[in-house]
Amino acid sequence: MRLRIWNVLRASATALAVALPAASFAAEPLKVAFVYLGPVTDGGWTQMHDVARKKLEAAMGSAIKTTFVENVPETADSERVFRQLAADGNKLIFATSFGYMEPLQKVAKLFPDVKFEHVNGFKTAPNIVVYEPRFEEGFYLIGVLAGQMTKSNTLGFIGSFPIPSVIRNVDSMTLGAQSVNPKVKMKPIWVNTWYDPGKERQAADTLIAQGADAVGQNTDSPASIQAAQEKGTYAFSIDADMSSFGKKAQLSGTTEDWSGYYIAETKKVIDGSWTGNRHTRWGLKEGLVVMAPLNPDIPPAAVKVFEEKKAKLISGELNPFAGPIKDNSGKEMVAAGGAMPDATFSSLNWYVDGIEGSVPK
């Protein structure tokens, strides 16, 4: 773990300011802390959270004071970081990685007056709230583009780990593609890492060699976009716009803008309306899930379909997981006329029809 020295300095300066009330006339600012898995320059997941933190600071002005700690592994180290941040007087703490779930449970019990927010988890508490992007909407739209642009009718997906929140993405990409092109097949490859450019590159090369000409990803580096650029196929970015790595290859991608959520939650803490035990899922409508810029080479007809589907997702007319949905063994998972309940996403472990292979058990 690397605690940036200026954060420590800033924290101690704040402590000093609190210790000398005569020096400050304004009400004591709310201290908000962010805990990041990666470095703030990772060009993806963590950077997006930090961009939102800066927007939060700009929006709230002197009413709050933010701190962040980067490169915090999902181990016992994180427990120490949470404990220290809570002890330092932070009243609202955002834990921005799934793996902080258990350490957070422990620390939250010790600091009942500190409010914790945990991304993508599934364990809430009186002072823990879970928040999560509706990525299925973004991946559905990726599928809509992939389904229209593929020539081989074979799509690929580079998965990190076969966990419910990632299986959801390959499922929704496939459903989106099938909505515009019933012939598509999907080949997923699991690399069992969030981040290993070399391995992601090999996985992309493999998928392309096996005929997949539009490859989605749930790993963090732009390696698959570079591979597609060289081979003349298509790829999609994740978390950030990665088109600088492949202008022709990147069709679009999913990014996140967390600032709306962070501002809303911080305001709730300030006006006292914050409550625990909530599980919030925000998507395109709320502006948390944002699509990366569309590739100008996409034909206007395909863009039109994309925009229509997007508008319907925002209005709620279209649900990516609306029935009937069969898994790839032919068993009906969602009945016609129904839709998958939100709670099911945290235990999703089957492939929709059209995906090759079986979910690694």
Partner 1 sequence: MIALVPMIASTVVAATPLIYAALGETVVERSGVLNLGIEGMMLIGAVAGFAAARASGSDSVGFAAAAAAGVALSLIFGFLTLNLQTNQVATGLALTLFGVGLSAFVGHNLAGMPVERLEAITIPGLSAIPLLGDLLFHYDIMVYLSVALFVGVHWFLTKSRTGLTLRAIGESPGVAHAIGKPVLATRYLAVMFGGATAGIAGAYLSLVQTPMWVEGMSAGKGWIALALVVFGTWKPARVVVGAYLFGGVTQFQLFAQGFGLPVPTEFLSMLPYAATIVVLVIICRDPKTILLNQPASLGHSFHPTT
Note the residues at the interface with partner 1 (CB under 8 A).
2, 38-39, 41-43, 156, 162, 187-193, 195-203, 205-207, 209-210, 212, 221-223, 226, 230, 240, 244-245, 356-358, 360-361
- Min dist CB 339 to partner 1, Å, is 29
- Min dist CB 138 to partner 1, Å, is 21
The edge-to-edge listing of strands for the beta sheet with 289-291 is: 185-190, 154-159, 214-217, 234-239, 250-256, 289-291
295 within 8 A of 306, measured Cβ to Cβ: no
CB atoms within 10 A of CB 99: 17
Q: Which is nearer to partner 1, 92 or 207 (CB)?
A: 207
Q: Which is nearer to partner 1, 29 or 44 (CB)?
A: 44
Q: Which is nearer to partner 1, 180 or 238 (CB)?
A: 238
Instruction: Break the chain down into helix, strand, coil percent, rounded to 5.
Output: 45, 20, 35
Q: Which is nearer to partner 1, 226 or 266 (CB)?
A: 226
- Min dist CB 94 to partner 1, Å, is 22
- Min dist CB 225 to partner 1, Å, is 10
- Min dist CB 73 to partner 1, Å, is 12
Q: Which is nearer to partner 1, 129 or 249 (CB)?
A: 249
Structure tokens at 70: 């980067």
d(CA 321, CA 196): 31
Structure tokens at 154: 């074979």
- Min dist CB 204 to partner 1, Å, is 9
Q: Which is nearer to partner 1, 108 or 228 (CB)?
A: 228
φ, ψ dihedrals at 237, nearest 5°: -85, 170
Structure tokens at 274: 């914050």
Cα–Cα–Cα angle for 107, 195, 222, nearest 5°? 130
Q: Return the amino acid letter for 285.
A: K
φ, ψ dihedrals at 50, nearest 5°: -75, -35
66 within 8 A of 56, measured Cβ to Cβ: yes
Q: Which is nearer to partner 1, 293 or 357 (CB)?
A: 357
Structure tokens at 114: 């500190």
- Min dist CB 199 to partner 1, Å, is 7
φ, ψ dihedrals at 59, nearest 5°: -75, -35
194 within 8 A of 220, measured Cβ to Cβ: yes
